[in-house]
Amino acid sequence: MEDFVKYNWTKINDQEHIAKSAILFEEMNRRRSIRGFSDDPVPKEALINAIRTASTAPSGANKQPWTFCLISSPEIKREIRIAAEEEEKLNYGQRMSEEWLEDLKQFRTNWQKPFLEIAPYLIVVFKKVYDNDGEGKKTNYYVNESVGLATGFLLMCLHQIGLYTLTHTPSPMKFLTKILNRPENERPFLLIPVGYPEKDHEVPDIKRKETDEILVEYP
Ligand code: IYR
């Protein structure tokens, strides 16, 4: 039986809610995925704090069914680049539909992924489809939702602390399990290069949906 403890929460006033929400929106609305990184170093301690923040996300039955791999080894980054490019060559050359390729044109992506070696860090998020603590298999619940939430926390945190990211899925990503030597119960969820944009980096001029396209109110 788990204990319950008093929750120390605080109430702020409506003006503060509104002011904080407006600032946060402006900040997050400036976030952009980047695909050209510089090799400028970033402080590892900040990344570890960001990962700890990600791990505060809610999860099914609080199972926290995730592992974050933090990679700075040039050898491992190189291995990941080579394997990712192999998959992406097949994706762009034969696996992706015409519609998909058309949808991606605006991002000017291709199979080449030099940023996987250039970015100072790669974070690979793994989901634990079940837990394996040595005493046998234990069930995890809502694994995709939970790991998606933790990854969202991570991306938001990294942006808030002034670091830049890409959500990268060189699928199928099974090669990451192998290169990073992860156990059988872990599956790659997302590959996130972290660092700073390269000099004069350009991003596509994307438009975000208007509020009335994403929000339905029931007053
Ligand atoms: N994984 C490929 C293709 C790709 C797919 C989607 I959906 C994107 O939003 C962007 C790219 C790549 O990274 O190039």
- How many angstroms separate the alpha carbon of residue 168 from the centre of ligand 1? 7
Pairwise CA distance, residues 42 & 123, whole Å: 13
Size (the chain), residues: 219
The confidence score (pLDDT) of residue 95 equals 97
- DSSP assignment of 70-114, as one string? EE--HHHHHHHHHHHHHHHHHIIIIIS-HHHHHHHGGGT--S--T
Pocket lining for ligand 1, CB < 6 angstroms? 88, 91, 104, 107, 109, 168-170
The whole-chain average pLDDT of the chain stands at: 97
The confidence score (pLDDT) of residue 134 equals 80
Does the pLDDT at position 1 exceed 70? no
> For 78-100, how does the pLDDT look when each residue is reduced to its tens digit (9 = 90+)?
999 999 999 999 999 999 999 99
- How many angstroms separate the alpha carbon of residue 219 from the centre of ligand 1? 39
The confidence score (pLDDT) of residue 135 equals 84
Does the pLDDT at position 14 exceed 90? yes
The percentage of the chain sitting over the pLDDT mark of 70, rounded to a whole number, equals 100
> For 39-80, how does the pLDDT look when each residue is reduced to its tens digit (9 = 90+)?
999 999 999 999 999 999 999 999 999 999 999 999 999 999
Q: Tell me what the mean pLDDT of segment 135-150 comes to.
A: 96
The confidence score (pLDDT) of residue 2 equals 76
